[in-house]
Amino acid sequence: MEFVPTSAHHVIERTGVQIRVKHVLIKRWPDVLAKTDQPHPKLPGTIHETAEQVREAGGEALAVRMDIRDDDQVEAAVAAAVAQFGRIDVLVNNASAISLTPVAATPMKRVDLMFDVNVRGTYTLTRAAIEAMSHGDGAHVVNLAPPISLRPVWFARHTAYTISKYGMSLCVLGMSEELKPHRIAVNGLWPKTVIDTEALRMIPGMDRRATRKPEIVADALHAVVTRDPAECTGNFFIDEDVIIEEGNVDPDSYATEPGVPPMPDLFLDGPGSIYPED
């Protein structure tokens, strides 16, 4: 079943969401709230540039400067979205701080940043948006968070980062059940392979050829948020699985370099895992 709200459709997205995600969501929800105010010396895109691209794609955009760690700014951003659009139909929690470092090499300032952005940020913004997401016929929250595996290998090399991402996953488990009466679905979405993002290109030695394009995550996200929120909640989706289930596109068509096998992403067990089970 495809979920299509009956009137205006509005999307609020946290920092870090790819432009492609916004363009895909424009298909159904033409009004977008975005965030990243100042140009980054190495990473492209600000809220104003994003807003203009959304408008060019046929939607309406609200550019709001927001620090996800500041409760007042989060509340103000949600209020601004409601003032302009009336309600929120889709919330994508994609902002993420990352440090793939062991305990001894991860200073507490970096630990605090990952916990504040990944876990607390997800909790804070979702909490702030509940009322605004309760006004329509149903709504979706999607956390870019992995299924939870308790294999020690996923903790041993980057304990703090793993805890922070699994915190986002735990939000899926708890909030999906709590928000069912409000017809608000809460799901996790995670890439099967490493995705070719601008941030990835900053990592020395990373072979971009062994990645997939961001469009695979965007298309999987679109598929998830067009499902009935009363029936589709509490899941941990893998982008490739969603694409295969939809049956319209071959996942290999998203390859950054056709013919080069993509590198598996973190936290996924089973065949093809970067850390195979014994």
Angle 198-68-103 (CA atoms, 0-180°, nearest 5)? Answer: 70
CB 97 within 8 A of CB 147: no
Longest dimension (CA), the chain: 55
Q: Would residue 270 be called left, alpha or beta, if left means φ above 0 and alpha means ψ between -120 and 50 degrees?
A: left
Residues 6+ apart with CB under 8 A from 111: 160
CB 122 within 8 A of CB 169: no
Tokens of 25: 């969501």
Q: Which of 161, 166, 254, 275 is catalytic?
A: 161
Q: Mark whether 161 is an active-site residue.
A: yes
Q: d(Cα 131, Cα 128) in Å, to the nearest integer?
A: 7
DSSP assigned state of 147: P
Sign of the dihedral defined by the CA atoms of residues 155, 194, 277, 238, in that order:
positive
In 3D space, the residue among 231, 221, 211, 223 whose CA is nearest the CA of residue 190 turns out to be: 221
Residues 6+ apart with CB under 8 A from 273: 264
Q: d(Cα 46, Cα 60) in Å, to the nearest integer?
A: 16
Residues serving a catalytic function are 161
